[in-house]
């Protein structure tokens, strides 16, 4: 079963994992407790490691805004090409 976690949940789970690892548990045991794979743990660690929930939320908002702006630029470029084609003499 595939689950989706919010950035805040991921940061919380990573902090919980840090606590458990500090107590001497091994990564596979911590991942089993959290209900995630080791690959997911390490991927999250590289992406969200050292972030607080506020930073993770801001990063997601910036990613959404960036995607929106990229679509806007692509639409404008397409409109410019259409106008150039229409203005070109036959």
pLDDT of residue 53: 80
Q: What letter does residue 65 receive in the DSSP assignment? A: H
Contact 28, 66 (CB under 8 A): no
- 50 to 2, 18, 47, 58: CA distances (angstroms): 25, 11, 9, 14
**How do the pLDDT tens digits run along the chain, 90 residues long?**
567 888 888 989 999 999 999 999 999 999 999 999 999 999 999 988 878 888 888 888 999 999 999 999 999 999 999 999 988 886
Grouping H, G, I as helix, E, B as strand and the rest as coil, residue 2 is coil
Residues 73, 65: Cα–Cα separation, whole Å: 12
pTM over 0.85: no
């Amino acid at each position: 079963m595939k689950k989706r976690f919010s950035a805040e949940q991921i940061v919380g789970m990573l902090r919980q994992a840090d606590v458990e690892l500090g107590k001497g548990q091994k990564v596979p045991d911590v991942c089993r407790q959290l209900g995630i794979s080791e690959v997911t743990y390490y991927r999250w660690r590289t992406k969200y490691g050292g972030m607080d929930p506020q930073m993770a939320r801001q990063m997601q908002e910036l990613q959404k805004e960036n995607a929106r702006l990229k679509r806007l630029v692509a639409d404008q470029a397409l409109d410019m090409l259409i106008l150039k084609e229409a203005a070109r003499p036959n």
